[in-house]
Amino acid sequence: MQGKTYIKMEKIQVNIKDVFGTVTPEAVEALAPEAAKSLAKLTDHTGEGNDFLGWVDLATRTGADLLDDINATAASLRDNCEVVVAIGIGGSYLGAKAVIEALSDSFAAYRNDNGPKVLFAGQNIGEDYLYELQDYLKNKKFGIIVISKSGTTTEPAIAFRLLKDQLEKQLGREEANKRIVAITDAKKGALRSLATTEGYKTYVIDDNVGGRFSVLSPVGLLPIAVAGFDIHALVKGAADMQKATLDGSDKAALTYAMTRNALYQAGKKIEILVNYNPKLHFFGEWWKQLYGESEGKDHKGIFPAAVDNSTDLHSMGQWIQDGERTIFETVISVAAQQHTTVIPFEEANLDGLNYIAGKRVDEVNKMAELGTRIAHVDGGVPNILINLPELSPYCLGSMIYFFEAACGISGYILGVNPFNQPGVEAYKKNMFALLEKPGYEKETEAIKSRLA
């Protein structure tokens, strides 16, 4: 595991010059007063959803003692497990997955020298997925991190029931309890009751931190630490971005929030988050939940999508270049790579690549990125460019807070409560009625009549 050394690199930068063929600088700047009021609502806790603003200063409230305790728990799981399964859905899954994938060796799953594998469950109700996971865990030393405020959310509750039963049968109940960590409500709920009864190690999900803003809490930090990454640096990056955003010395979050709203007002209804580094695929998935669940309300909101380039240039590229002009792109460009790979010279040159022989692969990738941005802007697709110095825990922590803060500001500019998710409950009511869950008798009768 990395030590607690921080090298503060060049900060995240936001470049919006390639939106000005669609909106004017004046149109963006016109939103500055509303953006400033929105930021004040976050800092003063005066806006809608202010009971879910615990994430705003979470990074600076997270002390070294808690991080050290999380690292100690992670070390125990690493020492005693070949596999650790993190059980959760939505924000209880995507943040940790995004950071782990961004920092991991791309082929870590096929190596045997990187400590325990961190797998995920409870993010779906796939029967084959759960069967194959349980089959994989047979005769393996495994542990469980179960993440749920209530302990009754259907998807993770099913996964936990199955895996807890399997672990208890493999080890016995007493030993199994030593390999289960629960991250849940401080006082109430089914999982809190079970954890107290069984003596699980526990961490708290604060009542004022919503799931999609929880990656910098134990929800994300414990799985990330189990995977072997430096959570001190991750939180430090977020804390530095928090301070700069809230004291006004860094305008990146404000600029991004203002620009995307100006584009939305100009008819750009879809935002595509673009990366040119395959390690950022799940960061795009985390970002989609963050913005989709925060802004998609009252029949308003930008639709968040994501692509992985250059891969998706050979699938979605045609639609982005020539399709309906209701889109804009936000491109994450990672300046420094972790490794160097140089394209070799070949005498025969049958593939015609000698013109780039001697260049790093990243040089070619950067030119693909630049060429694509130019082509898309020329094709009527505005581009916001986010420059990230590198994929490191510190920089990822900074980027996580940048997007969280911009999301809160953007939602308030849009005129919605960015911190609730009333629409998520609709499918649950129908599912419970169809499954004839106790307490849903009236809904069951109503839906049966509808389907008759």
How far is CA 186 from its chain centroid? 24
Residue 336, token pair as written in the block: 């420094």
User: Is 281 annotated as catalytic?
Assistant: no
Candidate list 26, 138, 299, 314, residue with the active-site label? 314
Separation of alpha carbons 74 and 80, rounded Å: 10
DSSP-assigned letter for residue 199: T
DSSP state of 52: G
- Edge to edge, the sheet with strand 83-87 lists 117-121, 83-87, 142-147, 180-184, 201-204
Annotated active-site residue in 140, 428, 429, 448 = 428
What are 14's two structure tokens? Answer: 């936001």
Helix (H) or strand (E) holding 304: strand 303-308
Active site residue 428: yes
Helices 252-265 and 32-44: crossing angle, nearest 10°? 130
Write down the catalytic residue from 285, 293, 295, 404: 293
**Pairing mode, if any, of strands 117-121 and 142-147?**
unpaired
Contact between 384 and 16 under an 8 Å Cβ cutoff? The reply is yes
Burial of 314 (0-12, 13-18, 19+ CB in 10 A): exposed
Q: With 0-12 CB in 10 A as exposed, 13-18 as middle and 19+ as buried, what is 37?
A: middle
- Round to whole Å and give the CA distance between 125 and 105: 28
**363 belongs to the catalytic site:** no
How many CB atoms are located within 10 Å of the residue 331 CB? 22
Active site residues: 293, 314, 428
